[in-house]
């Protein structure tokens, strides 16, 4: 069975819209965009559309793609010091002549709605409900919760080992009492683990690392990433048609925009509420 995350996002967006309608003040999402990368523009369009739908403000600061790193830091400092701007994000990717890592950590952590600043990333380790969660880990957990799965007693295999996504996911799952198995490219016999798992989360970006021989019936499979070979998209999970008959699986092909964007708005709303409390 395909998990329709567009539907999950729609329901979630309506709930947020209702919540926002009851607020006295209207939160606003600020985005800094550098250059005119076409996929960034499409992504921002989604963010703007959803902001308008749930009825929050949306402000875009467009910067020239030839801006120097120092000039960009000046803009960030202006944003940090501007009391009207309570949270904002910088649309990734940014041009290659600018160091992404330096830029992310120049954002005031209190205004970091993407939750990418290193001081914020760490906080996942000692999870507190009032904090934000980066958008990708957030929607992974959201999909699990939408299936009414109680993570206690459950076995979850997480296949990958990147700093930005897996660490939050692994730690969030452990905080929710799941038994978590973290595999990486140096794990022998991944199938041993996937076969006993209630949930499999894969984001290797490697061609068909999971196939129908490696799973049991009724597993929830969340396939987060893909690879592109000869202009064709290959997801981590092969044998989609067969697996779809016996498991719940996120749509392949599909795209994570709806839920990522929803969670960005959720973070905006949460930042707003944290500031008011």
- Binding interface with a second copy (CB under 8 A): 118-119, 121-126, 152-153, 155, 161, 163, 167, 170-171, 174, 177, 179-184, 186-188, 192-193, 196
CB of 192 to a second copy, least distance (A): 7
Alpha carbon distance 29, 208 (integer Å):
37
- How many residues in the chain? 277
Q: Which residues contact 24 (CB under 8 A, 6 or more apart)?
A: none
CB of 266 to a second copy, least distance (A): 22
Q: What DSSP line would sit under 14-73, residue for residue?
A: HHHHHHHHT-SS--EEEEEEES--HHHHHHHHHHHHHHHHHT-EEEEEEE-TT--HHHHH
Alpha carbon distance 257, 206 (integer Å):
21
Tokens coding 53: 């739908």
CB of 243 to a second copy, least distance (A): 23
Alpha carbon distance 144, 177 (integer Å):
13
CB of 182 to a second copy, least distance (A): 5
Smaller CB separation from a second copy, 47 or 154:
154
CB of 122 to a second copy, least distance (A): 3
Smaller CB separation from a second copy, 135 or 158:
158
Smaller CB separation from a second copy, 90 or 173:
173
CB of 156 to a second copy, least distance (A): 10
> For residues 75-85, b (16+ Cβ closer than 10 Å) or e, as one string?
bbeebeeeeeb
Residue pair 58/48 in contact by the 8 Å Cβ criterion: yes
CB of 145 to a second copy, least distance (A): 17
Alpha carbon distance 239, 242 (integer Å):
6
Smaller CB separation from a second copy, 153 or 231:
153
Smaller CB separation from a second copy, 75 or 92:
92
Smaller CB separation from a second copy, 73 or 155:
155
Q: Beta 179-183 vs 220-223: how paired, if at all?
A: unpaired
CB of 120 to a second copy, least distance (A): 9
Specify the DSSP class assigned to residue 234.
E
Smaller CB separation from a second copy, 126 or 229:
126
Q: Greatest CA span in the chain, whole angstroms?
A: 56
Closest C-alpha to 143, from 84, 64, 224: 224
Smaller CB separation from a second copy, 10 or 100:
100
């Amino acid at each position: 069975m395909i998990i329709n995350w567009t539907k999950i996002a729609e329901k979630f967006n309506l709930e947020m819209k209702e919540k926002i309608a009851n607020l006295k003040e209207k939160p606003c999402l600020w985005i800094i965009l550098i250059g005119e990368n076409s996929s960034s523009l499409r992504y921002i369009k989604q963010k703007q559309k959803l902001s308008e739908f749930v009825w929050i403000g949306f402000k875009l600061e467009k910067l020239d793609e030839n801006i120097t790193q120092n000039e960009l830091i000046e803009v960030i400092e202006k944003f940090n010091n501007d009391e009207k701007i309570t949270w904002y994000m910088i649309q990734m990717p940014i041009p290659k002549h600018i160091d992404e890592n330096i830029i992310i950590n120049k954002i005031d952590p209190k205004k970091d709605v993407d939750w990418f600043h290193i001081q914020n990333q760490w906080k996942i380790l000692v999870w507190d409900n009032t904090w934000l969660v980066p958008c990708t880990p957030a929607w992974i957990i959201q999909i699990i919760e939408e299936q009414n799965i109680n993570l206690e007693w459950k076995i979850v295999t997480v296949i990958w080992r990147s700093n930005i996504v897996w660490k939050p996911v692994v730690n969030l799952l452990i905080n929710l009492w799941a038994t978590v198995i973290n595999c990486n490219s140096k794990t022998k016999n991944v199938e041993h683990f996937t076969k006993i798992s209630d949930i499999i989360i894969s984001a290797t970006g490697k061609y068909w690392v999971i196939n129908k021989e490696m799973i049991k019936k009724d597993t929830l499979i969340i396939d987060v990433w893909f690879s592109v070979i000869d202009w064709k998209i290959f997801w981590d999970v092969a044998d989609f048609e067969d697996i779809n008959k016996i498991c719940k699986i996120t749509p392949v092909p599909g795209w994570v925009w709806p839920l990522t964007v929803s969670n960005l708005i959720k973070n905006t709303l949460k930042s707003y509420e944290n500031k008011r409390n």
